[in-house]
């Protein structure tokens, strides 16, 4: 009989659920197992979980991870994956990252999918998913993020490439598909230079569903080159200001934005090659004597 390739969290002992989960992950890596399976239950997380190189932490159908405290919840090492689960934040003072990837691990075969992340503490805070590169040779590329719902964080998805002391660091060529972000202060943020040595470029965000709330300040902050965004944005009237909610920063070029938003809610402080897309809803005017650049003149005098 073939040896079972799956490690079960509930086969391990420990004084806390975090210790049990980490013990299962450590065992899987040491014994060349690929999958650690959580049970159909709620796990109370009180300390960080590191998903070790080559290990996938997979949830069962009813798995829930409840975070008690302010700490980075899941850090993924090289080729680690996180699949499934309902992750909830219980601390109203939460300011950390729920899922964190560091380019120092130089990812190649990582997947993050089928997740629901929510801050139900009653106060918006923290970052749901953060990708960070800041050391020479750090890279996060070709990773798939799929079928993820994010609710009530300060930042929904945050990509950051910081200029290293020497060499290059980047967060490039990743895919984010079937992503829902609801009620965050900033939905998606890219923070980098336009080009090497530190860039966030060529990332594709597809099938987005963006739902703002009264806590929302901005939907998209975009840097880097050649990033693509498409999907739907809903209910801008929930946002309590009328300023732009999409910003192409100075360090941006060649980005493509395909979500239905009025022109006056988008500002391009970057290169003219940034595209707002043909799908954008233009402002209209019925007065041909006072037209505005970018508006369509609707003839009402015929």
Is 2 part of a structural domain of the chain?
no
Q: How many CB atoms lie within 10 A of CB 115?
A: 24
CA distances from 77 to 56, 74, 104, 109, 146 (A): 10, 10, 9, 11, 18
Nearest Cα neighbor of 199 from 227, 229, 228 is 227
pLDDT at 272: 87
pLDDT at 290: 53
pLDDT at 284: 45
The token pair that represents 54 in the structure block: 């080559």
> What is the domain range of residue 152?
69-297
Structural domains in the chain (count): 1
pLDDT at 289: 53
Is 57 part of a structural domain of the chain?
no
Is 97 part of a structural domain of the chain?
yes
Is 63 part of a structural domain of the chain?
no
Q: Across the 302 residues of the chain, what is the mean pLDDT of every consecutive 10-residue run?
A: 77 97 98 96 98 98 97 98 98 97 94 97 96 96 98 99 96 98 98 96 98 97 97 94 95 92 91 71 47 41 37
């Amino acid at each position: 009989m073939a040896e079972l390739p799956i490690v079960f969290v509930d086969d391990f002992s420990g004084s806390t659920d975090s210790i049990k989960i980490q013990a299962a992950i450590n065992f899987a890596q040491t014994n060349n197992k690929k999958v650690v399976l959580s049970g159909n239950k709620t796990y109370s997380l009180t300390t960080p979980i590191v998903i070790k190189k080559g290990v996938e932490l997979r949830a069962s159908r009813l798995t829930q991870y409840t975070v008690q405290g302010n700490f980075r919840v899941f850090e993924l090492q090289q080729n680690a994956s996180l699949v499934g689960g309902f992750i909830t934040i219980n601390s109203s003072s939460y300011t950390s990252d729920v899922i964190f990837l560091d380019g120092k691990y130089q990812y190649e075969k990582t997947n993050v999918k089928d997740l629901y992340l929510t801050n139900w503490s009653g106060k918006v805070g923290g970052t749901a998913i953060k990708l960070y590169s800041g050391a020479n040779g750090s890279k996060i590329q070709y990773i798939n993020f799929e079928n993820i719902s994010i609710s009530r964080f300060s930042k929904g998805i945050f990509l950051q490439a910081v200029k290293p002391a020497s060499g290059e660091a980047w967060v490039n060529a990743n895919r984010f598909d079937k992503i829902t972000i609801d009620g965050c202060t900033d939905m998606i943020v890219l923070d980098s230079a336009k080009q090497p040595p530190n860039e966030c470029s060529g990332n594709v965000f597809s099938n987005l569903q963006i739902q703002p709330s009264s806590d929302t300040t901005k939907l998209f902050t975009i840097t880097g080159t050649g990033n693509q965004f498409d999907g739907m944005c809903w209910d801008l009237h929930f946002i309590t200001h009328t300023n732009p909610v999409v910003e192409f920063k100075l360090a941006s070029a060649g980005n493509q934005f395909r979500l239905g938003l009025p022109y006056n809610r988008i500002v391009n402080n970057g290169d003219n090659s940034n595209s707002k897309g043909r799908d954008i809803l233009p402002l209209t005017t019925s007065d041909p004597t006072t037209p505005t650049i970018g508006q369509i003149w609707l003839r009402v005098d015929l």
